[in-house]
Amino acid sequence: MLMLIIIILISIRNLMERITTKRHLLLTPLALVTAAITHTATAGIIDDSHIDLTSRTLYYNNDTRSVAKNQPTGEQLGQGFILEGKSGYTEGPVGFGLDAIGLLGVKLYGPTGNNISTGMFPQHDDNSAPGSFGALRLAAKARISETQLRAGYQTINLPVIKTNNGRLLPSLYRGYTLHSDDIDNLVLDAGFIDRVEGRNQTHYQKLKSTGKASGFSSGFSYAGGRYTPIKPLALSYYFAQLNDFYDQNYLGIQHNLTLGAGKLTTDLRYFNSQGNGNRYGGSVDNNAYGAIVTYSLWGNSLGLGYQQLTGSSDFPYLDPGQTVDGISTDTTGGSTGLVTESPLSKFKTAHERAFVIRYSVKLDAIASGLRFNSSYVSGHHARASGSQVNQNEWVRTVGLSYQLPAEWVKGVTLDWKNVTYRTNITGTRSQDQNMLSVTWKFGLL
Query: What integer best gives the mean pLDDT of the chain?
Result: 86
- Cβ atoms within 10 Å of 163's Cβ, excluding its own: 18
pTM (two decimals): 0.87
| 360, 372 contact by CB (below 8 A) | yes
What residues form DSSP beta bridges with 217? Answer: 207
Residues of the chain with pLDDT > 70: what percent? 83
The Cα 24–Cα 34 span in angstroms is 10
How many residues can be counted in the chain?
A: 445
pLDDT of residue 46: 81
Give the residue, 282 or 344, on which the prediction is more confident.
Answer: 344
pLDDT of residue 88: 94
Asked if residue 279 has pLDDT above 80, the reply is no
Least reliable range by pLDDT among 71-75, 308-312, 374-378, 415-419? 71-75
The Cα 403–Cα 4 span in angstroms is 30
pLDDT of residue 36: 39
Asked if residue 22 has pLDDT above 70, the reply is no
Which tens digit of pLDDT belongs to each residue from 340-384?
999 999 999 999 999 999 999 999 999 999 999 999 999 999 998
pLDDT of residue 34: 40
Strands 147-154 and 172-180: antiparallel
The Cα 320–Cα 335 span in angstroms is 10
Question: Quick one: which of 82, 96, 2, 92 has its CA closest to 49?
Answer: 96
Asked if residue 305 has pLDDT above 90, the reply is yes
Which tens digit of pLDDT belongs to each residue from 89-100?
999 899 999 999
Asked if residue 35 has pLDDT above 60, the reply is no
| 5, 83 contact by CB (below 8 A) | yes
pLDDT of residue 11: 46
Q: Which residues contact 222 (CB under 8 A, 6 or more apart)?
A: 158, 160, 161, 189, 190, 191, 193, 238, 239, 240, 241
Average pLDDT for residues 41-70, to the nearest whole number? 81
pLDDT of residue 12: 41
Average pLDDT for residues 144-155, to the nearest whole number? 97
Among 25-29, 334-338, 383-387, top mean pLDDT goes to 334-338
Least reliable range by pLDDT among 10-19, 150-159, 181-190? 10-19
Which tens digit of pLDDT belongs to each residue from 104-140?
999 998 776 666 667 788 887 777 788 899 999 999 9
Helices 2-21 and 29-47 cross at an angle (nearest 10°) of 140
Average pLDDT for residues 173-183, to the nearest whole number? 97
Least reliable range by pLDDT among 10-14, 126-130, 156-160, 191-195? 10-14
